[in-house]
Structure 1
Amino acid sequence: MSANTQKSREFTGRHMLATILAFFGVVIGVNLTMATLASKSWTGLVVENTYVASQQFNRKAEEGRAQAALGWTGRLTIAGGEVRYSLSDAAGKPVPLHGVKVLFRHPAYETEDKTVTLGLASGQEFAAQHTPKGGVWIVEIDADAGLAEPYRDVRRIIIFHGALQ
């Protein structure tokens, strides 16, 4: 007769410590991953009063359609610590502007918002010194082209290493 003797493994305090550390390590790792993904991808927009915003929607949509009918195209460049903007008509000719204001809005943090007034640089191109922080931004450009309302150009952009991507 052969004796089949197997030594049973004992569950010790060290095993329990490793199990607990592994469990909480996984939980903390998942939480950090989800928080990082959420902070980098959330682009929600919050308005102060949803009722007022809903009442203004139709008027803003009509203004947008009238502006789109002009066929104008805005050109925004951000590089080397400088923001530049120009506007051209449907034929590609520069539209004379009297002034340009650019609002950089961070989708998640209002404290990061900054308004930059561009000055005439050359021809009909306006420029100013500004380097937005890297990340996603909503850029609202109001260009005074002599119309009843400023020409409004709104874009969602990505800044990487101080340049528009």
Structure 2
Amino acid sequence: MRLQQSKTGFVFTGWHMATIMVAFFGVIISVNMLMAYFATSTWSGLVVPNTYVASQQFNGKAAAIRDMLATGIKGKLTVTGGDIRYSLSIADEGPVVADTVTAHFKRPVGEHQDFVVALQPAGNGDYVASHPVLPGHWIVEMIAMRDGEIIMHEANRIAVIEAKK
């Protein structure tokens, strides 16, 4: 007499389903927590300290910018390596002389690499400074003053590309 052996197949139980659900939701919760950490650690979200005060000052700032643009002063920023060059001029009139020129380099996200540098006059409406600028995207706010008044205030987004060696 021969005994028949029956093979038992895999039986999906409640424990298997519980394990799958815990793993699935564990991944989702872990990813959400990681994204929340990155969101809170890389950008403060603070654009202005007091939004109400900023809204009240908006029209005055807009009028000042319109007046500045009416003068026709144009600025040109060049960043190569560690050299920062800014030129001020008025079309058909030539270079513009300023008492002080400062450049505020800000990362679009985060503040840990931001810096301010004062540019020195190089003659003929040109202003220069030497400061290392890391590769990547920057928002550069340029402020030129003469006789205690702002004659040029502009912000440009630039990309600094590291040269291949």
Q: Does TM, scored on the shorter chain, surpass 0.5?
A: yes
Q: 2:108: which partner in 1?
A: 107
Q: 2:143: which partner in 1?
A: 142
Name the amino acid aligned to 1:158.
A
Q: 1:126: which partner in 2?
A: 127
Q: Match of 1:112, SS?
A: coil
Distance of aligned partners of 1:75 and 1:92 in 2 relative to their CA distance in 1, 3 Å threshold:
farther
1:59-87 per-residue CA deviation (whole Å, 9 max, x = no partner) reads 11001111111222111000021100011
- Taking only the aligned residue pairs, the percentage that are identical comes to 38
How many equivalent residue pairs? 156
Task: Give 5+ residue unaligned stretches, structure 1.
Answer: 1-6, 12-16
Provide the C-alpha distance between the structure 1 equivalents of 2:93 and 2:37, rounded to a whole number of angstroms: 45
Task: Give 5+ residue unaligned stretches, structure 2.
Answer: 1-7, 13-18
Q: 1:88: which partner in 2?
A: 89
Provide the C-alpha distance between the structure 2 equivalents of 1:130 and 1:92, rounded to a whole number of angstroms: 31
RMSD of Structure 2 on Structure 1 (CA)? 3.7
TM-score (norm 2): 0.69
Q: 2:53: which partner in 1?
A: 52
Name the amino acid aligned to 1:108.
V
Distance of aligned partners of 1:88 and 1:45 in 2 relative to their CA distance in 1, 3 Å threshold:
farther
**Greater Rg over alpha carbons, structure:** 2
1:72-115 per-residue CA deviation (whole Å, 9 max, x = no partner) reads 21110000211000111022611122221111122322332211
Q: 1:78: which partner in 2?
A: 79
C-alpha displacement at 1:117, in angstroms? 0.3
Provide the C-alpha distance between the structure 2 equivalents of 1:154 and 1:127, rounded to a whole number of angstroms: 17
C-alpha displacement at 1:139, in angstroms? 1.1
Provide the C-alpha distance between the structure 2 equivalents of 1:10 and 1:155, rounded to a whole number of angstroms: 65
Contact 2:86 2:126 in 1 (8 A): yes
Contact 1:45 1:107 in 2 (8 A): no
